[in-house]
Amino acid sequence: MSTVLDKFLRYVKIDTQSQDGATTVPSTDKQRNLASLLAQELNDMGAQDVVYDKAHCYVYATIPSNLPEGKTAPVIGFISHMDTSPAVSGENVNPRVVAYEGGDIILNAEKNIVLTEKENPELAHFVGKHLIVTDGNTLLGADDKAGVAEIMTMAQELLSNKNLVHGKIRIGFTPDEEVGCGVDFFDVEGFGADYAYTVDGGDLGELEYENFNAAGAKLIIDGHSVHPGSAKNKMLNAILLAQEFQSLLPVHENPSATDGYEGFYHPDSITGSVDHVVVDYIIRDHNMEKFEQKKRFFLQCADFLNAKYGKKLFTVDLKDSYYNMKEKILPENAHLIDNAVRAMEEAGVTPTIVPIRGGTDGARLSFMGLPCPNLCTGGLNYHGRYEYACVESLESCVEILKNIAALYAE
């Protein structure tokens, strides 16, 4: 049995939760605790060119080629992020391994927190396998410490077994992916890979090379506060104005009503009072034309309401976040998908090509000159206390990574 489980259980106990709205990378100093540990472990296992970028919390390393003299292969990179989502606490994670025999899994009897078969019908696929779950108080951290553990296990096995033939492999671990800053300071040129994969997906077999085009829109609403006892025809309640703006957006274009390739508008957070409200929206669509239409419509809603009230009450600060990496993968770099499919099949895994309803570091890296589709990690229910991962899936993912390394050395 591989050491991937031991590594995973060790890594998830290190709190690396990132923080929205921070002005530094990393957004939290505690991410450095895992980064320094990984750098030390890479050195200990014999990796070369190990670099811990202390300024911005990146870790890079090389597994040197063991190809016969005169034979060459492209340099392949494998990348995962070290941080966990701000959505649910990552402090004092207490994972446990369950031999799953079907039915519900009680995560926390005292608080009646249960991973139910009814709400998670995919559990049926894991009967007879081993699941890593939380105690219901935190997320697990499989997003993306499963990917980190898999890459580290691959590295250890390639370095210790000279019979596993491969070209030069580059490893990269990033901070702050969950808050959209994962590759802000990633050294693509220094990384030196011809192609790469992020190991940051979900269920075993998932392979992704399409993701949302994404933008963030900060809606700023300036109301007019008056004592409610004398407010008639005077008060402009910014809270109600925010509600009015939201009512203009298509009711079915929100995350809870969309899937697959369907895009959406999503009010992610709101703060304020009668006098002033700020709503942070995210805007998503796989199709670039529809993405641009959504952004234009959002701005038109603000213009419409400003015209209605005869003054500028609504201001929009809209910025693109990342784009669909498909245009950087197909057709020129289709070999990345073909080899990933073959690597999965050789590991006994059925590939499932799906669009990402989100983004990864790989999306931005692809537009920074490093084509970078996304591979599965074996985790599910990310960003919540019901998150879990399958031990056997973690082990299969390690085999997939090793197979990819071998395929590019053929």
Residue positions forming the annotated binding site: 81, 143, 178, 200, 383
The SS3 of residue 409 is coil
Amino acid at 160: S
* Active site (annotated) includes residue 177: yes
The SS3 of residue 339 is helix
Binding site feature residues for Zn(2+): 81, 143, 178, 200, 383
Cα gap 167→176, rounded to integer Å = 29
Q: Kindly state the tokens that stand for 55.
A: 């300024």
Cα gap 301→236, rounded to integer Å = 17
Q: Minimal CA–CA distance to 186: which of 197, 199, 177, 195?
A: 177
Cα gap 302→283, rounded to integer Å = 15
**Phi, psi of 188, rounded to the nearest 5 degrees:** -60, -45
- Catalytic one among 15, 41, 83, 253? 83
- Catalytic one among 144, 177, 208, 395? 177
Which residues are CB-contacts of 99 (< 8 A; sequence separation ≥ 6)?
130
Strand partners, 217: 281, 318
Q: Does residue 58 contact residue 174 with C-beta atoms inside 8 Å?
A: yes
Q: Does residue 59 contact residue 79 with C-beta atoms inside 8 Å?
A: no
The catalytic residue positions are 83, 177
